[in-house]
Structure 1
Amino acid sequence: MAEPLVLLPGMMCDARVWATQLTVLSYERPVTIAPVCTGDRIEEIASGLLSSLPAKFALCGHGMGGVIALELFRRAPERVIRLALIGTNPLSDTPQEAADREPRMIGAKSGRFEQMLEREILPRHVGGGPLRAQAIADMNEMALSLGADVFARQERAMQRRRDQQGTLRRITQPTLVLAGSEDQVVPLKRQEFLAELIPYAKLGVLEGVGHMAMLEDPEGTTEALYAWMRQPLVLR
């Protein structure tokens, strides 16, 4: 049987964000969508997941899910067969980025979560492509179902995340870095930097796409993941 695939959603997202990929990729292999709402720190979330994941698996994370994927690899590299990172920032927050999270956490906890989503957060997450309106609607639905407390907890976890540059240099498994050309959350240059640090990584860029590649270009994202899953495993 083909190797199992573990998908990790990003901030304010759940299994629904992977709907297209799950439908296509599960024809050939077991696919698990793991929750990322279960801890206050990236390390805590990764530790909790490791006990429930298969002995060996392919791993794909988006945004915060990509950060958790890197922490999973750091802790158990022998269990990760291949790795895909979508819209992922491998660096820790700068002091300014960390400070910028504080008003968002305060706003979410003070009853302004829905207003913040509509005016500040969601428009920045989605590019200007033809599926923009639907992607914003889908993300809004997921975010509201998860709620303000989960959002604030995820912001805090991201604020405290570690720098993973050392981890990147140790990755020799087949790796895909998939970026949207219009990503405002993790700019393309940051993702190009990520790909450069991973030996043998392949960089894919989806034109006209923002941070939410799976919703904005579901077919392009699925095709990229399908090709990544079919890359041969080469011992180096």
Structure 2
Amino acid sequence: MAAREKLILLPGMLCDARLFTPQAEALSRTHDVEIVMIDSADSIEALADHVLERAPERFDLAGLSMGGIVAMAMAGKAPERILRLALLDTNHLADAEGRDKIRNRQIDAVGKGDMRRVVVDEMKPVYLAARNRSDQALLDLLVDMAMDLGPEVFVQQSLALRDRGDQTAALKAYTGPTLILCGEEDMLCPPERHREMAGLMRRAELRLIRDAGHISTLENPHAVNDALSSWLGAAVSPSA
């Protein structure tokens, strides 16, 4: 029996493996699925190096939000190792002008013990599509993941996002099958940004997910699973 392809999933900021629970359950039937945390450094480049160091020689790669940013950096560093690339609810550009002031204020607040308020009041309310904002179980899960990771990870990830570079060149250079996926109601990384990303790439398919915001994997898992399954079936070049 041939060995199954490795699929690496990278969660977003303040999220852990629970972000991909529906995907891991569905895709593990056909792939060797590993969810790799991005909580070991305070720069996107260092996080990309960390994942590449522990990854096999060839693998499929999917990341959501900050995980997608790390995935893009990995594609820029080692495109020949990534058979297929999926970028979910993410952003290929550097942090927006003035965003550093917000991140610095949040870092300061978290350092003073105010993390739960920052997470609950400033971050999570804009994550979900309209119909999901009353889903208390989902809201509680998002807060639980953040609080379980804790203040140190919050600061590391905030610094990495604040100081990140533009990934346009990495997207233009990557030639493997690529899924660009976004919740239709994603206010943090809106559909138009994903259209831009798809337009930069040679083999990109854009999929917009109904009834989903920034946390598409949990808001509409069946639609996301269908899109990922189709992407994983795309042919790769013989050289890969």
TM-score normalized by structure 2?
Answer: 0.94
Identify the residue that residue 64 of structure 1 maps to in structure 2.
66
Q: Which amino acid aligns with 1:147?
A: G
Q: CA deviation at 1:125?
A: 1.2
**Distance apart, 1:116 and its partner CA:** 1.5
Q: Which amino acid aligns with 1:156?
A: L
Q: Which sits farther off after the overlay, 219-228 or 126-135?
A: 126-135
- The residue aligned with 2:19 is 17
Q: Are residue 46 (structure 1) and residue 43 (structure 2) matched? A: no
Distance 2:128 2:163 in 1: 25
Match of 1:83 in 2: 85
Preserved CA contact (<8 Å) 1:113 1:148: yes
Per-residue CA deviation, residues 205-232 of structure 1 (Å, 9 max, x unaligned), is 0122110011111111111101110112
Counterpart of 2:7? 5
Q: Which amino acid aligns with 1:91?
A: L
Contact 1:12–1:151 (CA<8 Å) still a contact in 2? Answer: yes
Is residue 126–residue 135 contact of structure 1 (8 Å, CA) maintained in 2? no
Name 1:159's counterpart in structure 2: 162
Structure 1: which 5+ residue stretches go unaligned? none
Partners of 1:43 and 1:115 in 2: CA distance: 29
Task: Tell me the SS of whatever aligns to 2:86.
Answer: strand
Per-residue CA shift, 1:126-151, capped at 9, x if unaligned? 11124743322111110010012211
What residue number does 2:179 align with? 176
CA RMSD of aligned residues (A): 1.4
Gaps of 5+ in 2: none
Distance 1:29 1:180 in 2: 24
Residues 106-125 of structure 1: pairs in structure 2 closer than 5 A: 106-125=108-127
Tell me the TM-score normalized by structure 1: 0.96
Over residues 167-204 of structure 1, what are the superposed CA-to-partner deviations in whole Å (9 max), with x where a residue is unaligned? 11111100000001111111111111111111120000
Identity across aligned pairs (percent)?
33
The one of 220, 225, 238 equivalent to 1:222 is: 225
The count of aligned residue pairs is: 236
